[in-house]
Chains A and B, each alone.
Chain A
Amino acid sequence: MQKILVCIKRVVDYNVRVRVKPDGSGVMLDGVKMSVNPFDEIALEEALRIKERGANVEVVAVSIGVADTQQQLRTALAMGADRAVLVQTDAPIEPLTAAQTFLALAKKEKPDLILLGKQAIDDDANQTGQMLAALWERPQATYASKVEIADGKLTVTREVDAGLETIEVDLPAVVTVDLRLNEPRYVKLPDIMKAKKKPLDVSSLDALGIVASTYLKTVKTEPPAQRQKGIMVKDVSELVDVLKKKGLL
C-alpha cells in the first residue's frame, strides 16, 4: 500500500443545534461552528493508523467546498495527513458530483485505498462512497467497523441491520467507515503549527473537467413536527390502565 486518499467534508459541528430559517430557505449557517464531518475524521484516523503500523503510505486528505474548507483540511494535516487538496467551489455539490470529482482526483493520484465517512451529518445522504466505487469500477465496503489489510486485499467487518457481516475486497477499493471503527486522536498544538507548513493544493471543478449537476432542487426547509405533550402516571397500575385503554396491551 502506497497511498490512501481520505475524503473530508466541511459540515456544521455536531454539537450545534441546527435551526431552520423562518422563511424556509434553509438552515441557519451564519456564525455557526464548522468542523470535519465526524465520520470522515474516523476515516482519516484509520488511514493514519495504517500508516503508523509501518507501511510506507502517503495519506492525502481531499475535499470539495468553499475557500474556508482549508480550515478543515488544515485540521486533517494537523491530525497527520501528509498533504491536502481542496477542489474549491461555491456551488452546492450533490453526491453524484462529489463522487465524480473524487474519481477525477483518484485517477490523478492513483490511491490503493479511498476512505471516507459513511455519511455526512448535514445532508445525511449516505451516497458518495458507493457512487465513487461504482464510477471507479472498484469494490466498496460500506459501514466498516473493522479493516484488516493483507496481500493486496482488505477484510472488512461491516455493521449491518442484522449484526455484523464480513467481506473481502481486492485493492484498490473504497471503504466507508462507521462510528465504531476507531476513536480519532486529539490534535496537539505543535501539530497545528507543523500542519501550516504541509502542502495544501487548491484546484477547481473546471480544472478537473467536472460540471456540478443540478438534478436535485431543495424547494423548502421546515422544522420537524413536534410531538404533543404527554401525561405523567403515578404508578405501574395506572400505567397499565392507560396502555390498556389505548389498546396497546
Chain B
Amino acid sequence: MSKVLIIGEHDGKTLNPATLKCVTCASGISGAEITILLLGVDTAAVAAQAAAVAGVHKVLRLDRAENAHPLAAMFAPQIVAVAAGYSHVFGPSTSFGKDLTPRVAALLGVPQVSDLMAVESAHRFRRPIYAGNAIITVEADPSRTLVATVRVASFEAAAQGGAATIETTAVDVALPAHTRYLGAKSGSTDRPDLQTANKVVSGGRALGSAENFKILFSLADKLGAAVGASRAAVDAGYAANEMQVGQTGKIISPEIYIAIGISGAIQHLTGIKDARTIVAINKDGEAPIFEVADIGLVGDLFQIVPELERLI
C-alpha cells in the first residue's frame, strides 16, 4: 500500500492552499494513506486546519524552536527522519517545496519527479518539460521512496470534511548552524494571493506606467481578484516582481484570467495555460494572446477597463 507523506506549507497561522492540491494529487494514488507533516514552532492551529481536509489520515506535528523559518537545510534532515516507512514524499511546487524536496531526496539517496501534473499509478506520472511545450510520462523505480513536487495549477484543492488524527512527534537529529534566516520583504497587500486566487487581473507593458496600473488594482478590488503582470511590465518597472505571471514568474490556474494590454509572449502563455477562462483585452487584434483567449475584446484598455469596472 502507498503511504504518502505530504510536507505541509504554512505561515504559522494558515495552511497554504497549495497543500490541499497535494492532497488531491496524492489521493489519485489508489488506496494511498495520506499524512501531512507540519514543521514549525507551534503548529497547533495549522494542524487543526490540516486535520479537517478530506482524505487525510493523519497530521504529524514537528514543533521545534529552530523551525521558525522554512530553511531547507534545517527542515530536510528532520523530514528524512520522519520519511522512513513512507513510499512517497510530496511537497508543493512552490518556492517552499521546490527549495526543500530535492534536499530531502538527495539525503534519502532517491530520485525526485518534479511538477506532477497527473497521476497514472503509484509510480507513473505525467509532468511538463520544456516549459510545458512537451508532456512526458515518467515511471519511477517502485523499490525506492519517491520524492515529488506537485504542480499546484494541475489539481483542485481537496475539500473540507476530514477528521484526521493529530500526533506530535520529535526527531533526534542535529541541525546545521551554517544557514540563517535574516528577513523577508513582500509587496503583499490585502488582495488575494496571486498564486492561489480564483480571479486574476493582469497587466502588460501597454499600461505604460506604474501609475496607470492603478486602474487594474481598482478593477481587481471590485472583482475580488489578485493582480498580476507580464514580464515586460515588471522589467519596465510598472509592477513588482512577485506579480510576474509566466514561465519565469508564477504559473497559475485561476477560474478567470483577464489579460489587459498583454501581447502574449510564449513565456507568459506558459504561466496561464491552465486558467479555466482567459479574457484578453488588447488594442492589437493580431496579438498572440487572442490565440489562447476564450473571450477577446479589441480596443483601448484605458476606455475598456473603467467601463468594465462600472458594469460589474
Q: Chain A residues in contact with chain B, CB under 8 A?
A: 12, 17-18, 20, 27, 94-96, 99, 121-135, 137-140, 142-143, 155, 158-170, 173, 179-180, 213-224, 227-228, 230-237, 239-240, 242-243, 246, 248-249
Contacts and interface: CB of A to CB of B under 8 A. Distances in A.
A130 B106 contact: yes
Contacts of A218: 136-138
Contacts of B95: 143, 158-161
Given A131-B106, A240-B311, A164 B184 contact: yes
B135 A222 contact: yes
A246 B276 CA distance: 11
A236 to B, nearest CB: 5
Contact of B178 (A170, A179, A228): A170
Interface in B212-267: 223, 240-242, 248, 250, 255-256, 266
A219 B307 CA distance: 51
Interface of B: 71-73, 76, 94-96, 98-107, 109-115, 124, 128-141, 144, 176, 178-188, 195, 199, 223, 240-242, 248, 250, 255-256, 266, 273, 277-279, 290, 292-299, 304, 307-308, 311-312
A176 to B, nearest CB: 9
A224 B130 CA distance: 11
B73 A133 contact: yes
27 contacts: A95-B102, A96-B106, A96-B111, A124-B128, A128-B102, A130-B99, A131-B105, A131-B112, A134-B106, A134-B107, A138-B178, A161-B242, A163-B186, A164-B184, A166-B181, A166-B182, A168-B182, A170-B178, A180-B241, A216-B141, A219-B137, A230-B292, A230-B294, A231-B294, A236-B297, A239-B295, A249-B312
Contacts of B293: 230
A18 B129 CA distance: 10
A163 B256 contact: no
B56 to A, nearest CB: 23
Given A143-B95, A217-B138, A232-B298, A155 B182 contact: yes
A216 B277 contact: no
A215 B110 contact: yes
Contacts of A124: 114-115, 128-131
A163 B130 contact: no
A223 B141 contact: no
A12 B99 CA distance: 25
